[in-house]
Amino acid sequence: MAERTQNDIFLQTLKTLEQENALKELILVGSWCLPVYSNIYAENNKIPTLRTSDLDLLVCNPKNIYNSTDLSKLLLNIGFIHSFDTDPPLVKYKHAALDIEFLAARMRGNEKIIKIPQLSITAQVLNYMEIAVKYAMETEYIGIKLKIPELPAYTLHKAIVQTLRKNEAKKEKDAATVIGLGNLIAELPELQIRTLQIFNEFPKSWRKIILNMVKIHSPELSQLLKSPPRLPPQQRGGH
């Protein structure tokens, strides 16, 4: 029997979560969004193929879970094992080729880790993840219905996170992602419009971080973000 690839495990994980209605509570974030974007945008070669062994799943609303599911048991049943970070007490899920970590957006308080008993998991709380929650979209990938951030929101979020990285390798990967997706945005008018809409809804402090980052790494995105906001065609005046 052939050894399963990282992609095989990724797809099996998504299918298992979908079968139990668990994907309704989760948003796929991180580099595993890239093959989904590639599928949406017709295998555009500007979308990076960077992927890691880390599969990040963001819990949409930890305080309001509609479908209570024992995610820990589901993952153990398909070959994952527990991986413990004792300080803080975060539980991850490890496979031969893939590691799953659950995340949550920063709400109130200074918690680094929260327990989500309805899903039988713990989640790491991260700043700026509210971007993925606010701008989540539903899509289908190889027959699996799931949520991911809109590509413009994902790109702008990456630009912010890149500036916070301490690991140089991850910093370079984030920059490469922003460059590639920035080039894609620059060639598709509908993505240009949506990127400007989202960018101008961000707090001024976030916009400043993004502008400084893309000035260095993505001239195309830098030029776009400095331009005035544009309305979609249906919102413009005229006939």
Going by pLDDT thresholds of 50, 70 and 90, the confidence category of residue 1 is very low
CATH class of the domain at 1-149: alpha beta
Q: What is the mean pLDDT of the chain?
A: 90
CA distance 98 to 6: 6
**How large is the average pLDDT for residues 47-61?**
89
CA distance 146 to 137: 8
Q: What is the pLDDT of residue 227?
A: 76
Q: Is residue 144 within 8 Å of 16, Cβ to Cβ?
A: no
Strands 113-116 and 136-141: unpaired
Residue pLDDT, tens place only, 188-214:
999 999 999 999 999 999 999 999 999
pLDDT at 231 exceeding the cut of 60 = no
Q: What is the pLDDT of residue 42?
A: 85
Q: What is the pLDDT of residue 3?
A: 59
**How large is the average pLDDT for residues 33-53?**
87
Instruction: Say if residue 152 is preceded by a cis peptide, omega within 30 of 0.
Output: no
Cα 88–Cα 20–Cα 149 angle in degrees, nearest 5: 65
Residue pLDDT, tens place only, 73-126:
999 999 999 988 766 688 999 998 899 999 999 877 788 999 999 999 999 999
Q: What is the pLDDT of residue 237?
A: 43
E strands, the chain, where? 26-29, 54-59, 81-85, 90-94, 99-105, 113-116, 121-126, 136-141, 144-149
Using a pLDDT cut of 70, give the percent of the chain over it.
92
Q: How many C-beta neighbours within 10 Å does residue 101 have?
A: 21
Q: Is residue 113 within 8 Å of 123, Cβ to Cβ?
A: yes
Sequence spans of domains, the chain? 1-149, 150-239
CA distance 119 to 121: 5
Q: Is residue 186 within 8 Å of 227, Cβ to Cβ?
A: no
Q: Is residue 159 within 8 Å of 189, Cβ to Cβ?
A: no
Look at 40-54, 55-69, 142-156 and tell me which has the smallest mean pLDDT. Answer: 40-54
